[in-house]
């Protein structure tokens, strides 16, 4: 597309309305076109009055309205990108006064200047798997919250459990035997127990659904390859791939590490160089999966029965990368934890960062079906 003949259109998308602005080629200030409803025909009609499809570039911020508009506009022949909000430069005045009109004008102006960073728009099937994976993660959080609420009540009333492990069959029998002094307390206790049971059932349903739905997914070969690594069962690998997508878009391992927010922040000037905690930018869901997987490398390198089953049928090059990862990361964990005496949280972050590099290497050897 010729930059000197392109009209840059900024959309500020909301649930019920879309603000439209356009920056024409040259240096003229962008102009506000107006606000339209979220009826697709209303938006396309407005765009046709602004610019020709062949000479227009549309952008809007990633947000709660998702990627539906980008997919729709692309299907209609428009060039449309979704922009990462964290990369939009806003001056102090724009931060103090924020309106839909101003946001649309800013997007059009910054798009013409080439200052925006677009994000990958997943296809509908990939997004559906990701939604299911996130729903399961919410169910895990809901179950934890329900269990903590139940335990808090038991703690308040001195009902302690002396068994080894909570939430086992023995623990369930203990809970079933409890009685309180007042009927109101019994009602509250039973409601907390029912909330835990409901959360367990919801998590089980979502886990089974995610496993079934991912079997025919085009990204399944990558999921199964990542499952060769220690710490990645079906759910963890599926969740990670659903959040990241095709690893081929990352030119080098460092790019994936930076996208996951696992690289250290830095504040340097002149000869002074200072690094701080990790940036925590990018996808927090994928970063959580990696950090949880990193915890498994505190043990010595070995291939257990479950891992052997997951590695069956995988190419030798994938299994070699997985074994190399085990040797490297288990040794690295012991060195950082025992040798340098670092806190286990810092060690897991360091292991997760290197683990991302091995996942990138695996991705290089997997061919995925087209969308």
The boundaries of the domain holding residue 60 are 3-119
Q: Which of 119, 140, 159 is the last residue of a domain?
A: 119
Same-domain pairing of 233 and 331: yes
Give one DSSP letter per residue of 86-118, joined into a string: GG----HHHHHS--HHHHHHHHHHHHHHT---E
Q: What pTM, to 2 d.p., does this model score?
A: 0.90
Same-domain pairing of 353 and 226: yes
pLDDT at 87: 81
Q: Which of 214, 240, 261 is the last residue of a domain?
A: 214
Same-domain pairing of 64 and 135: no
* Under 8 Å between Cβ of 230 and 322: yes
pLDDT at 247: 94
Same-domain pairing of 9 and 30: yes
Whether 369 is in a domain gets the answer no
pLDDT at 37: 96
Residue-level pLDDT, tens digit, the chain, 371 residues: 555 689 999 999 999 999 999 999 888 999 999 999 999 999 999 999 999 999 999 999 999 999 999 999 999 999 999 999 888 888 776 678 889 999 999 999 999 999 999 999 999 999 999 999 999 999 999 999 999 999 999 999 999 999 889 999 999 999 999 999 999 999 999 999 999 999 999 999 999 999 999 999 999 999 999 999 999 999 999 999 999 999 999 999 999 999 999 998 877 777 777 788 888 888 899 999 999 999 999 999 999 999 999 999 999 999 999 999 999 999 999 999 999 999 999 999 999 999 999 999 999 999 876 65
pLDDT at 159: 92
Q: In this structure, what token pair is assigned to residue 261?
A: 């927010």
Same-domain pairing of 111 and 131: no
Q: Which of 102, 119, 136 is the last residue of a domain?
A: 119
Whether 371 is in a domain gets the answer no
Same-domain pairing of 41 and 110: yes
Same-domain pairing of 196 and 268: no
Same-domain pairing of 170 and 291: no
Distance in angstroms (rounded) separating the CA atoms of residues 266 and 289: 24
Beta strands per DSSP E along 104-208: 118-119
Calculate the alpha carbon distances from 320 to 323, 325, 335, 366 in Å: 5, 8, 23, 14
Distance in angstroms (rounded) separating the CA atoms of residues 186 and 222: 50
pLDDT at 370: 65
Same-domain pairing of 346 and 234: yes
Whether 237 is in a domain gets the answer yes
pLDDT at 338: 93
The kind and range of the H/E element at 21 are strand 17-23
Number of structural domains found in the chain: 3
- The dihedral over CA atoms of 218, 220, 225, 228, expressed in degrees to the nearest 10, equals 170
């Amino acid at each position: 597309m010729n930059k000197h003949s392109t009209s840059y259109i900024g959309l500020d998308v909301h649930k019920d309305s879309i603000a439209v602005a356009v920056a024409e080629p040259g240096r003229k200030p962008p102009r506000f076109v107006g606000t339209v409803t979220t009826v697709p025909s209303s938006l396309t009609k407005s765009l046709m009055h602004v610019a020709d499809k062949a000479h227009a570039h549309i952008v809007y911020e990633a947000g709660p309205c998702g990627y539906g508009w980008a997919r729709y506009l692309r299907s209609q022949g428009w060039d449309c990108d979704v922009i990462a909000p964290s990369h939009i430069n806003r001056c102090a005045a724009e931060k103090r006064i924020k309106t839909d009109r101003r946001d649309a004008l800013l997007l059009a102006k910054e798009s013409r200047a080439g200052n925006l960073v677009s994000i990958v728009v997943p296809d509908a099937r990939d997004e559906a798997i990701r939604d299911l994976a996130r729903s399961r993660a919410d169910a895990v959080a809901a179950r934890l919250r329900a269990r903590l609420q139940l335990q808090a009540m038991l703690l308040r009333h001195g009902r302690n459990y002396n068994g080894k492990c909570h939430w086992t069959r023995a623990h369930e029998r203990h809970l079933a035997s409890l009685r309180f002094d007042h009927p109101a307390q019994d009602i509250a206790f039973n409601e907390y127990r029912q909330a835990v049971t409901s959360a367990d059932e919801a998590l089980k349903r979502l886990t089974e659904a995610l496993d079934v739905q991912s079997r025919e997914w085009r990204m399944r070969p990558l999921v199964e390859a990542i499952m060769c690594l220690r710490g990645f069962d079906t759910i963890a690998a599926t969740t990670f791939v659903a959040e990241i997508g095709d690893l081929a878009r990352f030119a080098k391992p460092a790019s994936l590490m930076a996208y996951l927010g696992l690289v250290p922040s830095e504040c340097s000037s002149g000869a002074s160089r200072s690094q701080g905690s990790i940036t925590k930018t990018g996808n927090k869901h994928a970063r959580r999966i990696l950090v949880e997987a990193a915890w498994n490398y505190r043990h010595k390198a070995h291939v257990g029965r479950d891992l052997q089953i997951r590695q069956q049928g995988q190419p030798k090059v994938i299994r070699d990368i997985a074994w190399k990862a085990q040797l490297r990361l288990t040794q690295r964990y012991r060195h950082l934890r025992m040798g340098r005496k670092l806190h286990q949280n810092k060690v897991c972050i360091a292991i997760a960062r290197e683990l991302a590099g091995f996942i990138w290497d695996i991705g290089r050897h997997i061919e995925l079906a087209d969308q």
